[in-house]
Structure 1
Amino acid sequence: MPADQPTILATSGGYRPAQRTHLEFDALVHHAVELSGVTGRRPRVTVLGTASGDQRFFNDHLHQAARVAGFELSTLDLFPMPNHDDVRGHLLDQDVVWVNGGSVANLLAVWAVHDLGPSLRVAWEAGVVLSGVSAGSICWYVGGTTDSFGPELRAVTNGLALLPFGSGVHYDSEARRRPLVHALVADGTLPTTHCTDDGVGLVYHGTELVEAVSERDGKGAYVVTRDGDRAVQERLEPRRLASP
């Protein structure tokens, strides 16, 4: 039961600490599932941990979180080789594709080697909800800001470009993100850029931004546009999601 139109939920959140398990899925992950429209069975969610090297211990944390949430979770691992014979078929069989954070530059390089981009586009066009956090948010855009290359943030501009915008993740929690986004938009390195405070996600139908949502109080989303040789920022007030 795919979503009725191509849908992306790009976030700077999705997890929260837990008591009995290492982590739980917070409201943003649950909202990705809601956007898929699945009913009558356990939602199928596959996680791509490419950006952090497909860490098996973290996969186990996610399986425990999925058990608590009532999701049927799988992983699409690319290290040391793809763990599914038919990668495109696996993606098309999901309700949600969730991409974890880490190095977006490495993620994009590995995805390119495996020609994963066209399969993700096919899944998106078929109504599989694409989502993720941090690197798993930037990847859907033209590019964004990243620490993939070292402590000093740099631009990455070879994203999948399903969304024709830049991405500014962790906009409130990492002090260098905001000024670099503004500089990159002002000089034309990035197009109009959509930014999220930690705990905030942006919902797109096709390439249209339709809503900002949040799993935390007091957080914001932002649209940064170019005006001559400067950047201009507009704040969007997210809708507060109910905690699962």
Structure 2
Amino acid sequence: MPAEQPTIVATSGGLRAGHRTNLEFHRLVHHAVDLSGVHGRAPRLCHVGTANGDQRWFNADVSEAGRLVGWEVSHLNLFTMPPTADLAGFVREHDVVWVGGGSVANLLAVWEVHGLGPVLRDAWRDGVVLGGVSAGSICWYLGGSTDSFGPDLRVVTNGLGFLPYGNGVHYDSEPMRRPTIHAAVAAGTLPVTHCTDDGAGLVYHDTELVEAVSERPTGGAYLVRRDEASGIAQEEALDTRRL
């Protein structure tokens, strides 16, 4: 059963260290599955690990996390080739697409080569919940700050643009994230930008931001917009619900 409306869960979280396994799905991923509306069968989650090069060892950890909670987990690997010629059909078999972190610049380049952007847009419109962490968050927006090119953060502006905003991730844990976003918004390089601390996520219905949530007791979300009179970026903290 698809989600009632196009839904994106963009986050700086979703996974945690397991008690007896390397990984477990944290509350943000569970929330994305809940939003998909699936019931009466095991949820089907498609993990996309393009941003870290489709590392098979990490795929195995994600699959194990799925077994712990009784979900069916598949992997859309694009290295060294896609799993099928019918990427649209593959994606539509799932309730949730969860995109992992890593290099958003490389992710966007590889997705462009394989035409994955339009596939994901159509699936989103048809009720497959899209979500992800870090690079897997920035990709849904117009752009955001990234360490894809080196330790000094740069701004990418070639995101898929399903959400017509900028995106800032790891806002509280990496000291240069906030000033980089503020500078990009003040300069007009990024439009109004939605940001998340570690453990926080933003839920969108269609392109409307409907809620900020967090899987941790701390951490929140923010809007950064340019004040046209002063040319300075201004930040507003959002009410954040603890999952």
TM-score (norm 2): 0.98
Aligned counterparts of 1:153 and 1:166: Cα–Cα separation in 2: 15
Aligned counterparts of 1:89 and 1:124: Cα–Cα separation in 2: 13
Q: Structure 1 residue 159 and structure 2 residue 159: aligned?
A: yes
Aligned counterparts of 1:159 and 1:85: Cα–Cα separation in 2: 24
Q: Given residue 2 of structure 1, which amino acid in structure 2 is its aligned partner? A: P
Q: Residue in 1 aligned with 2:236? A: 234
Q: Which moved more, 1:167-176 or 1:82-91?
A: 82-91
Q: Residue in 2 aligned with 1:54? A: 54
Aligned counterparts of 2:129 and 2:50: Cα–Cα separation in 1: 18
Aligned counterparts of 1:16 and 1:36: Cα–Cα separation in 2: 21
Q: Which moved more, 1:83-92 or 1:94-103?
A: 83-92
Aligned counterparts of 2:119 and 2:218: Cα–Cα separation in 1: 37
- What is the CA distance between 1:18 and its match in structure 2? 1.0
Q: Which residues in structure 2 correspond to 1:7-156 (within 5 Å)?
A: 7-156=7-156
Assess if the C-alpha contact under 8 Å between 1:76 and 1:84 holds in 2. Answer: no
State the secondary structure of the residue aligned to 1:47: strand
Residues 204-237 of structure 1: CA deviation (Å, up to 9, x unaligned): 0000000001000121100001102110100012
Aligned counterparts of 2:135 and 2:116: Cα–Cα separation in 1: 16
Aligned counterparts of 1:199 and 1:237: Cα–Cα separation in 2: 14
Aligned counterparts of 2:84 and 2:237: Cα–Cα separation in 1: 42
State the secondary structure of the residue aligned to 2:145: strand
Residues 104-155 of structure 1: CA deviation (Å, up to 9, x unaligned): 0000000000011000000000010000000000000000000000110000
Aligned counterparts of 1:17 and 1:34: Cα–Cα separation in 2: 21
Q: Given residue 234 of structure 1, which amino acid in structure 2 is its aligned partner? A: E
Assess if the C-alpha contact under 8 Å between 1:44 and 1:73 holds in 2. Answer: yes
Deviating beyond 3 angstroms after TM superposition, the runs of 4 or more aligned structure 1 residues are none
Aligned counterparts of 1:140 and 1:123: Cα–Cα separation in 2: 13
Q: Residue in 2 aligned with 1:182? A: 182
Aligned counterparts of 1:210 and 1:70: Cα–Cα separation in 2: 29
Q: What are the ranges of 5 or more consecutive residues in structure 2 without an aligned counterpart?
A: none
Residues 143-179 of structure 1: CA deviation (Å, up to 9, x unaligned): 0000000110000000000000000000000000000
Aligned counterparts of 1:40 and 1:111: Cα–Cα separation in 2: 33
- What is the CA distance between 1:19 and its match in structure 2? 2.0
Size of the aligned set, in residue pairs, is: 241
* Alignment RMSD: 0.6
State the secondary structure of the residue aligned to 2:210: strand
- What is the CA distance between 1:69 and its match in structure 2? 1.3
Q: What are the ranges of 5 or more consecutive residues in structure 1 without an aligned counterpart?
A: none
Aligned counterparts of 2:80 and 2:155: Cα–Cα separation in 1: 28
Q: Given residue 21 of structure 1, which amino acid in structure 2 is its aligned partner? A: T
Aligned counterparts of 2:32 and 2:21: Cα–Cα separation in 1: 21
Percent identity between matched residues is 67
- What is the CA distance between 1:26 and its match in structure 2? 0.3
State the secondary structure of the residue aligned to 1:38: coil
State the secondary structure of the residue aligned to 2:67: helix
- What is the CA distance between 1:15 and its match in structure 2? 0.7
